[in-house]
Chain A
């Protein structure tokens, strides 16, 4: 059974600082997705990582995938307040459809 673990669960950062969220998964997968969720809102797709060594960047966020280590990271550079949200990684099934197994989520709070 596929398990996806994220850490930390909660992260409080000062504006301007850098930090990394980690996502580990238990079975082989060659792709991984990152989503953002604002309070009371739905999930917004951030990154689609489709191969070992894939790196994607959007603004102050950068995501990478190491399929051999079964690890993805989401790096935040010089955090700003509007990055406050919950971030989820998700790994798709290897068996015929792309149903997602989600990590526990990391609730990020940026403090002025």
Chain B
């Protein structure tokens, strides 16, 4: 597609439920990143994919968070047993190869609210 697409745009769920957030990167981009934006913590890196592999998962805050990417394209971020502190905007970004000096292109994000 023309840009990075994320769905859903908004998600409200009860504490303890599992959620899945989807990211469709720009066609042909091999590098994909997930970030989280919250009032208290600002913008934080979560995970980086190169193709279907995730060589850097260092930003995932707990083992309740996981992500996968299939076909070198769509990625899903899963949060299990959601907690209120998981409430944030989850942003996905992609770049052509993830190489030096390539700007990341961001989607509109998924606003996640945990009740």
Contacts and interface: CB of A to CB of B under 8 A. Distances in A.
B43 interface: yes
A97 B57 CA distance: 12
B107 A99 contact: no
B13 to A, nearest CB: 20
What's the dominant secondary structure at chain B's contact region?
strand
B31 interface: yes
B101 A50 contact: yes
B108 A42 contact: yes
B104 A45 contact: yes
B51 interface: no
B105 A45 contact: yes
Given A31-B101, A100-B104, A42 B109 contact: yes
Contacts of B45: 99-101
Nearest to A6: B42
Contacts of B100: 31, 98
A42 B102 CA distance: 18
18 contacts: A31-B100, A42-B91, A42-B106, A43-B91, A43-B106, A50-B101, A88-B43, A97-B48, A97-B55, A98-B95, A98-B100, A98-B102, A99-B33, A100-B35, A100-B104, A102-B43, A102-B44, A105-B43
Given A88-B43, A98-B31, 6 more contacts: A33-B103, A42-B109, A45-B105, A97-B55, A99-B56, A102-B42
